[in-house]
Structure 1
Amino acid sequence: MSVSGLVIRPMGEAALLAEVDSLDAVLALHAGLDASRPDGVVELVPAARTVLVRVDPGRLPLVTARAWVERIARDAEAPADSASGEVVLDVVYDGADLTETAALLGASTEALVAAHTGAHWRVAFTGFAPGFGYLVSPDWPYDVPRLASPRSRVPAGSVGLAAGFSGAYPRETPGGWRLVGRSAAPLFDPTADAASSALLAPGAGVRFRAVRELIAPLRDVAPPPRDVAPPPREPTRRGRERADRRIRIIDPALFSSVQDLGRPGRAALGVARSGALDRGALRTANRLVGNPEDAAGVEVAIGGWSAVATADTWFAVTGAWGRVTLAGRQLDLDVAHPWPAGAELHLDWFAHGARAYLAVRGGVDVPPAVGSRSTDTMAGLGPARLQQGDELTIGPEPLSPIPAIDLAPWGAPPDDLDVPLAPGSRADWFAASALPMLFESTWTVSAQADRVGIRLDGPELPRARTVELPSEGMVPGALQVPPSGRPTILLADGPVTGGYPVIAVVTDAALDLLGQARPGTRIRFRHAR
C-alpha cells in the first residue's frame, strides 16, 4: 500500500512535518520510517494526522530527508496487530465519569466496560505529559465528548476517554478526559533509560483487563525481614568527599533550577528537550572551571540569588549581566574564581539579560531523570525548583584542569533582539498580510515569559483558516499563534505536541538569545539565510 494524501511541510531549519489524511496512515508511515531511519534522524514524533521528522542537518540534509519520507510513504504498510508482547493494564472501573459517560453514549456501564476491555488498542502517539499514550482501536465504537470544564487535578493512574481515544495519566495533572477507571501500572519511570521509561510507547499494543482491586506489583528483590536491619554501609573516602562538597541555597531568587543540556530526542515519549535556555552560556561556564560542557549547573532567572559552599571549590558565572560578589567583594563575570568554604556568593539583580549560569568545578550532582539532571517545569521531571535551605551536592573533580587562559566570550546580552526565522508548518493558515506583519513589526516580550514559552505583545496576525488543528509535533522555537493572533515562542520546556498553527520557527542558534529575553525586550524578526 501507499500512504494517501501525503503533504510534506517545513518545520524550521531542521525538521519536516509529514501530513497524511488519517490516523491509520500516520501509524503506517511512522512504522515505515522507524524501521528504516537513516543516520542523522534525531527523532520521529507521530501525532493525530502528522509525523514530525527532526534531523541533524549536518548529517542528513533536509532535502535528503524529504526524499526518504516520500519513498517510505509510497511503500508503507499498516503495522501488524500482534498480541505478542502487548501491555496489559489492570483497571478498576470505578471512575468518576463512568456512569455519566455510559448514559451519554446510550449504553450501560457494563456494556461500556466490556467494549473497553474487549478492544485491541495500540499507542498511536504520545503527548500532553511524559508517557501519556493516545490509544486507538478499530474495535472501539464510541466518540466520547470531553468534559465541558477540565478538572484542575486528575489523579495519577486514571484511565480516561476522549474523542476516539483512550489513555492513562502517568502523573497528577489537569485534564479534560472522562475518567472511567484507575490503574496501578507504572506508566512512566524517569529513572529508567529512555528506551524503557514509558510503558506505553508509540506502536505498542495494549489490552485493558477489569479487576476488582489493584495489587501493587512485586519487587524484583524481596526486602529484608522487618526484624533484621540491613548492616550500615561505610561510605568510601570518595563518597565522603562528595557528601561534604555542597552548595547551600540562602536565597533562591524568583526562580532558579538545576540545568544541563537537556533531553534531546525524547519527544516521541512526551518528553521535552528542557535544559539550559542559554546553552552557550552554560557551556562557557563549564569550560571555565574545567568541567565537561554538559555538566549540570544552576540557572538563575532575573537575579537576587545567593548561596554558600560547604567546601573549597571553584566557580564561574556567565550569561546575564549583574553585580556578582563573594564575601562582599565584587568579582568579574565569565572568569573562574576560587570559592572558599563558608563564603557567601551573591548574584544581584541583572541589568542585562534574564538568566545567569553558575558552574562549580565537578558540576551539580543530582539524580538524573530520563538521562538528564535538568528541571523540566512543565512535565515535572528532574529536581524541583530551588528553595531556601536546599543543598546541592557537587560532583567529583574532573580530570581536566582549570584553563590557564580565559578565552570566554565577553559582553552583556543585548536589550533588543534581531531573531532569524525559518518557515513554519502552517504559514498557509494565515492571511496574506500576516507574514509581512510578522517581519515588519516590533514585538515586545510580555510578562508571560518563562521556560515553557514567551508570549509576545504586538499586532494580531490574521488567520485565513479558523478550524481546529489536530495536535501535531512541535519543536523549540516554534511560533504558535492562538486565536488571539499574538504569537507564543515555545522554549525548552514547551509541549512536544500542540494544536495551534505554527507560522515560523526560530533558528536553533537564536534560541540562546531568547533565553536572555526578559519582559520588555523588543524583538525584530528577519528571514533566516
Structure 2
Amino acid sequence: MRASPSTRPAAESGLLVRPVGERALLLETEGTAEAFALHQHLSAAPLPGQLEAIPAARTVLVRFATGAHARQGAGLAAGLEPGARPGPGQDAPLVELETVYDGEDLADVARLTGLGSADAVAAAHAAALWTAAFCGFAPGFAYLTGGDPQLAVPRREEPRTAVPAGSVALAGEYSAAYPGVSPGGWQLIGRTSAALWDLGREFPALIAPGTRVRFVPVREHLEISGSAARPNPGTGTAAGDPGSVPAAVVTAAGPLTTVQDLGRPGHSHVGVGRSGAADRSALLRANRLTGNPPGAAGLEVLLGGLRLRAGKDLVLAVTGADTPLSVRTPEGAERTLPLEEAFVLRAGSELSLGIPAAGLRSYVAFRGGLEAAPVLGSRSTDTLAGLGPQPLQEGDRLDAGVDPGTAVGHPEPAPPLPGGVTELRYVPGPRQDWFGPEGTESFQSRTWTVGARSNRVGIRFEGEALTGRETGELASEAVLPGSVQVPPSGLPILFLADAPVTGGYPVIGVVAEADLDVAAQLRPGSAVRFVPFS
C-alpha cells in the first residue's frame, strides 16, 4: 500500500505542515515576510527536540532530534501563527556594502524595470534598506528582501558559468552579493569589495538571516577581496613540521580521496550543508575497529587506487566497498590484508587499495584520527561548498592524532553491498502533490539507473522521464540529504552528503536515513527502485 503525505493547514492560519523524511517538517507560509517571521519565532522559542530551523523563500524547514519529536512538532506547529511580524528592529546588525554600480546587466535591468537608465537602477537599489531573509546556494549567500518592487526582474535566460566574487545582483524580489566565484543566473548590477564569507572570522558569514543591509554607491575602483581572496584555513591536510616524520605519505591518490568525519551540522542558516562521510556507517565501523571516537576523521576513497607509504608504525582499518587490500614491505614482500578489521602497517611499508569488486567508497581510519585543520568544527571536505581539506594528491603528507589509549575493536560483520536491483525506502516528499497519482506510481514502479554524473552532491538517475509534473517554478526551499528532487527533465536526483542547503525543484520523496549509506555505495550503472514506507 502506498503511503500518502500528510499535508494539513494550521487552524485558520494558512500554515501548511509537510513531513520531510523521518525527522523534519516543512512549514509553508504565504510569502517571504511570513517565513522570515516564523524563523525568528522558532529561533527564539524552539519546538521540543528542534535541532535546526532553516528559512527559505516561503518555508521554514525544521529538523528534529528524533521522529517522535517531529510528530510532536507537527501538532505544535499547527498552532503557530505564520502572519508577518515586524521586521528586524533598530538593534539588528546593519552591514553597509560599498558598491560600484557597473554590472554587465545594468542596461537590461533598466529596460526590464522601466527605470530607463543605469543611474536610476543604482539609485533605487541603494535607497532601500534590505534585510537578509534566508541563506542558501553557497556559504554566505544571503537572499535580501525589502527593495522597491519595481526592481523585481527575472533571472537571465542563460546562466553564467562563473559569476565573479563580490558581484551584486537582482533576481525576482531578491538582491544578493556573491561571496565567491560560482555559476549564477542573476542579473548583475554592480560589485562590492566586502569579504562576505571569511573563515578567519569567528562568524564567517558577514550577512546572516535578520541582518539589515544597505548598499552605498562609490565611484572608485574596488579590488574584490571576497572569500576567494582568502586562503581556506582548512585547505590541505595537516602536515605538521615539514621536517617531522609524517604518519603516511600519499604515493597515489586514486580518482578521488577526501578527508571526512561526521560533518558540520548546524550551519544551514548561513548556507553551509552538513557534508561528512557519504557512508556514515562505514566510517563509524572503521573508527570503532581502530579504537577511535565516532567523530574522528578518516579517508573516503572513491573506487580504490589509493596508495599510502607509512612513515611510522600505524594501526589502520579499511571498511566500506569490497576493495582488495595489499601491503608491500620495504624488502619487497607482498601480502594481502583483510577488510573490516584492524591491522598494523609498519613504517616504510606501502598500503594499496585496489578497484572494488562491489561498492563504490572505502574508508580508511588511522588510530588517533587523521589530523587536518577544522573548518566550522569539522575536518570534512565539502566538494560543493569548497570547504575543508582539498582532495588528496600524490606527495601529500598525512598526520595522525594522539593515540586514544583504548582497545581496538573486534571485527564485525558489514552490511551487504548493493547488487542486482537495490531498493531504497522513502517517505513521500513534501512536494509529491506536484506529480499526482500517475507520476507517483511511475516513480515507484520504474527501475532507475545510476548515472555517470553522480557524485557526493547527489545521484543523478537515468531512465524514462517522469511525466505529469506540474509546470511552473517552485520557490527556493531547504532540502536535506536523502531528498529526491525532480527537475523539469523528469529524471530524479537523490541528494547525498554534500547536498545544497536549498533547492528549487519539487521533492517527490525523502530516502530513509538508514538507506543513505547503501545509496552511497551505488556505482554508475546500478539499478534502483524506490519503495514507499510510512
TM-score (ref. length: structure 1): 0.90
Shift of residue 240 of structure 1? 6.1
Matched, 1:346 2:355: no
Of 46, 52, 71, 1:43 maps to 52
**Distance in 2 of aligned mates of 1:19 and 1:427:** 15
Aligned to 2:5: none
Could you tell me how far 1:457 is from its partner in structure 2?
A: 2.5
- Identity of counterpart residues, as a percentage? 46
- How far apart are residue 216 of structure 1 and its match? 9.1
RMSD over aligned CA atoms reads 2.3
Partners of 2:40 and 2:12 lie apart in 1 by 12
User: What amino acid is aligned across from residue 343 of structure 2 in structure 1?
Assistant: H
Deviates more, 1:286-295 or 1:76-85: 76-85
2: CA distance, partners of 1:215 / 1:438: 50
Deviations 1:74-132 (A, max 9, x none): 67623344265311212222323334433443332222222222111000111111110
2: CA distance, partners of 1:293 / 1:4:
44
- Corresponding residue number in structure 2 for 1:202: 209
Q: What is the distance in 2 between the residues matched to 1:216 and 1:429? A: 42
8 Å CA contact 2:313–2:347 kept in 1: the answer is: yes
Q: Deviations over 1:419-444 (max 9, x none)?
A: 11112001111131222222233222
Following superposition, the deviation at residue 139 of structure 1 comes to 4.2
Q: Is the 8 A contact 2:137 2:501 kept in 1?
A: yes
Tell me if 1:147 matches 2:156: yes
Give the number of equivalent residue pairs: 503
Distance 1:407 1:3, change over 3 A: farther
- Secondary structure of residue in 2 paired with 1:353: coil
1:258 deviation in Å? Answer: 0.8
Match of 2:65 in 1: 56
CA distance in 2, matches of 1:483, 1:178: 22
**SS in structure 2 opposite 1:351?**
coil
SS in 1 for 2:465: coil
1:63 deviates by 2.4
Aligned position for 2:236: none
Partner residue, 2:4: none
Supply the distance in 2 between the matched residues of 1:316 and 1:77 (Cα, whole angstroms): 54
The residue type paired with residue 21 of structure 2 is G
Secondary structure of the corresponding residue to residue 349 of structure 1 = coil
Matched, 1:476 2:481: yes
User: 1:13 is paired with a residue of what secondary structure?
Assistant: coil
CA distance in 1, matches of 2:188, 2:162: 12
Following superposition, the deviation at residue 42 of structure 1 comes to 1.7
Specify whether residues 108 and 419 from structure 1 end up closer, same or farther in structure 2 by C-alpha distance, changes over 3 A only: same
Check whether the contact 1:320–1:412 (CA below 8 A) recurs between aligned residues.
no
Q: SS state of the match for residue 512, structure 1?
A: helix
**Aligned position for 2:337:** 331
Residue pairs, 1:33-182, within 5 angstroms = 33-57=42-66, 61-73=69-81, 77-82=85-90, 84-105=92-113, 106-139=115-148, 141-182=150-191
- CA shift digits 1:287-306 (9 cap, x unpaired): 11111111111100111221
Match of 1:458 among 437, 447, 463: 463
8 A contact 1:88–1:207 mirrored in 2: yes
Unaligned 5+ segments in structure 2 are: 1-10, 226-238, 329-333
The secondary structure found in structure 2 opposite 1:72 is: coil
How far has the Cα of 1:352 moved from its partner?
A: 0.8
Kindly indicate whether the alpha-carbon contact (under 8 Å) linking 2:273 and 2:499 is maintained by their aligned counterparts in 1.
yes
User: Following the alignment from structure 2 to structure 1, what is the Cα–Cα distance between the partners of residues 165 and 385?
Assistant: 13
Q: How far did 1:251 drift? A: 1.4
Aligned-residue offset at 1:382:
0.9
Q: Look up the equivalent residue of 2:173 and give its one-letter code.
A: G
Aligned with 1:490 (options 490, 495, 519) = 495
Q: Measure, in 2, the Cα distance between the counterparts of 1:75 and 1:523.
A: 42
Report how far residue 4 of structure 1 moved: 4.7
Is the partner of 1:315 in helix, strand or coil?
strand
Report the Cα offset of residue 208 of structure 1.
Answer: 1.3
Deviation at 1:154, TM superposition (A): 1.2
Structure 1 distance, partners of 2:411, 2:277, is: 21
Secondary structure of the structure 2 residue equivalent to 1:147 = coil
**CA distances 1:441-493 after superposition (whole Å, capped 9, x unpaired):** 32221222110111223333222521111111111111111122221111111
1:413 aligns with 2:417: yes
For 1:137-182, what per-residue CA distance to the aligned partner results, in whole angstroms no more than 9, with x for missing partners? 1545311232222221111111111122110111111111122222
Partner of 2:319: 318
| Counterpart secondary structure, 1:283 | helix
2:105 and 2:176 mapped to 1: Cα distance?
A: 14
**After alignment, is 141-150 or 502-511 more displaced?**
141-150
CA distance in 1, matches of 2:88, 2:475: 25
User: What do the CA deviations read for 1:319-373 (whole angstroms, capped 9, x no partner)?
Assistant: 0012100113100001111111221110000001000000111211111112211
Task: Answer yes or no: is the 8 Å Cα contact 1:90–1:208 preserved in 2.
Answer: yes
C-alpha displacement at 1:71, in angstroms? Answer: 2.4
Match of 2:301 in 1: 300
> Is the aligned partner of 1:309 residue 2:310?
yes
Q: 1:448 aligns with which of 450, 453, 459?
A: 453
CA contact (8 A) 1:31 1:79 kept: no
CA distance in structure 2 between the aligned counterparts of 1:414 and 1:103, rounded to whole angstroms: 55
Specify the SS of the correspondent of 2:33: helix
Name the counterpart of 1:435: 440
Q: Look up the equivalent residue of 2:186 and give its one-letter code.
A: W
Alpha carbons of structure 1 residues 239 and 160: separation in structure 2 relative to 1, 3 Å: closer
Partner of 2:384: 378
- Distance 1:75-1:101 versus aligned 2 partners, 3 A rule: closer
Letter in 1 for 2:511: V
From 367, 389, 397, the equivalent of 2:395 is 389
Rounded to whole Å, the distance in 2 between the matches of 1:360 and 1:283 is 12
Answering whether residue 274 of structure 2 is matched by residue 273 of structure 1, we say yes
Select between 350-359 and 172-181 the one with higher mean Cα deviation.
172-181
Q: Would the alpha carbon gap of residues 496 and 3 (structure 1) be closer, same or farther in structure 2, given more than 3 Å must change?
A: farther
- Provide, for residues 16-37 of structure 1, a one-character-per-residue CA deviation record: whole Å limited to 9, x for no partner: 1111222121122111122110
